[in-house]
Structure 1
C-alpha cells in the first residue's frame, strides 16, 4: 500500500466520528494537565473566533467545566494543542489551573491532519474556513503546496470540460482527490471548484466579513458582482445590518448593473483601450489556468501576425 493510500485511510478513520472517538479514548485515557504546560501550534486551521460565540463557551465552562477533553501531543517543553483551541482560549480567560485532555503521540503531519479534519466536522464552520481546511488537507495528503493543489483543480476542471487532454482525470492524484471528497461527504470536487475556490479571490471587504461568519458565501459572491468599491461596501453593510435574503441582494445588484448600463460611457482613445486590455491580461494568474493560457497564446500569435502585416515597424 502506498504512503498516499495510508494517509487516505487515516483520513477516512478520522472522519468516522464513532471510530475516531473510540480510538482516542481507548488509546489515551483522559488526564488533567496544567494549562500552563500546553502551547499552541505554529499552524492552526482556524484563524477567526467569533467573540459572542466564544464568550458563550466561556460562560458555559465557568458553570459546568470542560465537558469534552482537549487533544494534545507531548513535546519537549510540555504539550502542544492539537484539537480544542476554543476550549483552550476559554480556559485561559478563566485562569483555570488544569484542563482535561487526551494525550496522543502524533507526528507533525498527523497532528495537522487531525486538526484539519476536526475543523471540517464543526457545525459552525463557515464557507471560507471550510475551503481553506480542504485545501490544506489535500496539500497534506498529496504532499503539495496549496497553490499546486489549486492548479491541479483547474487542470482537472479543464479536462472534465474537454478543454485539455484527459491525463489528470485518470491519475493517482485525481483518485486521491475523489477519495478525500467522498470522506468529507459535503460536496464533490466539481462543486468545490465552481463554488468554493472563487471565494479566495473575493475583494478584501467581502472576504473579511465572510471569515467572520457575517454573511453567507452565496450572498458574498452575488455582491462581488458590484465592481464599484464604494457601492459594494454600501450594499454589503446594508445586507448584513438588515439580514437581506439572497434574492434581495440579487435585486440590488441588478439595480446597480442597470444604472451602470444607463450611464453614458465616455469615449476612450485607441491607446487607452489597448492599455486596458493589457492590464486585464497582466492581472490574471496564468499559472493556475495553463489550458486557458494555451488558447490565449494561439490568439496572441494571430494578433502578432496581423500587427506585423498591417502596422508600420
Structure 2
C-alpha cells in the first residue's frame, strides 16, 4: 500500500521553533559541527529544509538540529521547514534513524538512545527498534550493554582506546576487576580472542582483581605465545622440506648413473645441511623466547 507524504514545506519564523525534547546527541559535539556548517550555508544557502512537527502551539525539530542552529547563528529570521504531523514515538524514530544513517552519533550516544526507546520510554523491544533503524538485534542489544560499564571505561571508548568489541568483553566482569583488565587490554593491544583467553584463565582459577597481573604474566605474553606457535609451524615446515629433499636424493640414487649423480647429490646434501641449520636457528629462537617469558614470570 502506497503511503502519501502529507507534509508541506514553508518558511517558518525561527523563534517559533524549539529543539527536540528527545536529545540524542551531545550538544558540545553539535556545537563544533555547526561551525563548519555555518560556512557552508553562507556560501551555498540551506540546501535541505529541516523537518519539524506542530507541538504545543509552536513547532519542534525532528531532524536538522545542526542546520537550525547554523541558521540561527547567521541571524536568519525564517528557515525553510518541512512540516509533518507525527507523535512522539515517530519523531524519535526519525531523529534516531537520520543520525544513524549519517553516522553522526558516537557509540555511547547510540546506546543511550536505544535504552531510552526500549527501557525508559517503553516504545518497543530490541527487535522492533532494530527493524525501525535498519540494524540487527545484536547491534542494538550490544550497544545497550555498554551502558553497564563504569564511567572510566566509557571514557576510554569515547577516546577510541577501546573498541566496541573489546569493551563488550568487559561487561561480564565484576566492577573490582574491570578497570585493571581494561588497562591491560589497552597496554597489550589484545584482540577479542586474546581477551577471551585471559578471561577463561581468570574464571577457571577463581582469582580476584589483585591477581590479574599474575594472569597477565601467564598469558602475555600472548604475543610471545603466538611467536612460539609460529616457530613450531616453521620447524615443521622445514622438517617437511628436509623429508622431501631426502626423497629427491633417493630418487637420484635410483635413476642416475653414479658418474651423473655425484654433482646433483652433492648439491642436494648441501641444501640438506642448510635446512638443518635453519631448523637449529628456529629452535634456538624459540628457546630464547621461552627463556624470556620464564624470566618475566619469575621476576
TM, length-normalised to structure 1: 0.49
Equivalent pairs counted in the alignment come to 202
CA 1:76 to 1:196, structure 2 compared with 1: closer, same or farther past 3 Å?
closer
Aligned residue number for residue 42 of structure 1: 21
Give deviations 1:161-196, integer Å, cap 9, x for gaps.
xxxxxxxxxxxxxxxx535424433222x4544x32
Distance 2:40 2:63 in 1: 19
Distance 1:61 1:257 in 2: 57
Aligned residue number for residue 187 of structure 1: 136
Structure number with bigger Rg:
2
CA 1:183 to 1:72, structure 2 compared with 1: closer, same or farther past 3 Å?
closer
Distance 2:191 2:43 in 1: 42
CA shift, 1:142, in A, is: 5.3
State yes or no: 1:28 paired with 2:7.
yes
1:252-263 correspondence to structure 2 within 5 Å: 259-261=213-215
Aligned residue number for residue 53 of structure 1: 33
Gaps of 5+ in 1: 1-8, 14-18, 150-176, 264-313
TM, length-normalised to structure 2: 0.51
Gaps of 5+ in 2: 199-209, 218-299
Distance 2:179 2:133 in 1: 38
Task: Choose which of 149, 167, 174 in structure 2 pairs with 1:202.
Answer: 149
Give deviations 1:62-103, integer Å, cap 9, x for gaps.
322222211111234421111111212222233222211111
Q: Which has the higher contact order (CA 8 A, sep 6+)?
A: 1
CA 1:259 to 1:233, structure 2 compared with 1: closer, same or farther past 3 Å?
closer
1:161-180 correspondence to structure 2 within 5 Å: 177-180=126-129
CA shift, 1:220, in A, is: 4.1
Distance 1:222 1:182 in 2: 25
